[in-house]
Structure 1
Amino acid sequence: MSDASRASGPILRLQDVKRGFGAGATRIEVILGASLEVARGEMVAMIGPSGSGKSTLLHICGLLEPAEAGRIEIAGHDAAAMSESERTAVRRMTIGFVYQYHHLLPEFSALENIVIPQMIAGTRRRVAEARARELLGQVGLSQRERHRPAELSGGEQQRVAIARALANKPALLLADEPTGNLDPHTAGDVFALLARLVHELGLAALIATHNLDLAARMDRIITIRDGELGRA
């Protein structure tokens, strides 16, 4: 799905989503009837203690794990009605992922790390390189395009990871502790960049974080505890 195919309603909608693991006496209920909407241009913080289900819920939203019950809509499309190839296409083109650790490919340059997901999606190399340079400019790293991840600082690595997440022009951005490995000053800078891009590009963003100061700077905060969502 591309920019032109985005629906007019919320980009992300969950209705009574449930997820557990195991069976019988060993079963653990992780998500108990989660309902949530995230609109374009909205940055939503998700906070909760370790083990509360934040990462599981993000994986469900990103179509990386199935829900056992409930409805998941991404840009107006029902996830349950998608074939596996359609789910893969949505993950590739409609959802961008940013993790606590950057997961950049160490043998490739910053530019190449942003080019590769575009080429996997079918973009011609010349077009992909132009898009990658545009994004590196947006994250303030135009002069670092030929540097490999090991030659970049932690903050620079995460900026490249953000640019990579935006490479295929997603509608939904999912982030799991995106500043968790950074010192407070760098974390603040990276968050400010992320917030600016979310609002400028009109993305819907759901961001799991332990950092309450950063959460307070987002548009809305939801809590997850004992498998249930609430408002902070």
Structure 2
Amino acid sequence: MTNMPLPMASSAKALAKELMNLQEEPVEGFKITLVEENNLYDWQVAIFGPPGTLYQGGYFKAHIRFPGDYPYSPPSFRFLSHIWHPNVYENGEVCISILHAPIDDPQAGELPQERWNPTQNVRTILMSVISLLNEPNTFSPANVDASIMFRDWRERKSTKYEDYVKQQVRDSQREAERDGVVVPTTVEEYCVKTTVSHDSDSALNVEEFYDEDMEFCGDDDEDAPDVDTD
């Protein structure tokens, strides 16, 4: 009996469609690639610091891991680059309501509608992360020391928070040089939207993922890394 290839999981179809959409209409300030070409469940993200903010000129790497039942469960978002921020844990995990599972937890201090739901997508996650960088939530911080520093900086009591962030931006720029990445520093450069060429060696031919006879890494329902939602 011939072994028949498994059909592509519905989650992989959803991710392939989202990836194609993000290639055709990128989110400003982000560059997205797959960690491995045959695995739609692990994405690598480069985040460029928005002009006019403390993060201007920064280049920060992150990893998005999707569960097998996406979009019904949220992905995890973890910074690979070291980043000092009230809502980022020491291990790089981002603590943000949109990435929290849609469960009823009165102790969490979040409304159900603030948590993940299947209408959310990668684009809304990326926009939320950029918003969080510029406007941290200090009411339930993942990094208490960073939260205190941020409040002191906002109230003009200390420049420590600004000093920390600017040093990290300088460190990230050296990494960008090693990676051969040109970081946008002006509004004009930051807002340019470029469609990724599918002829490029580094580009993903997303249409390949619509072949119903292909198998994919991650098609099983492996759980994403646990995210502390305290």
TM-score range (shorter-chain normalised) is: under 0.3
**TM-score, normalised to structure 2's length?**
0.25
- Larger-Rg structure: 2
Richer in helix (by share):
1
Richer in strand (by share):
1
**TM-score, normalised to structure 1's length?**
0.25
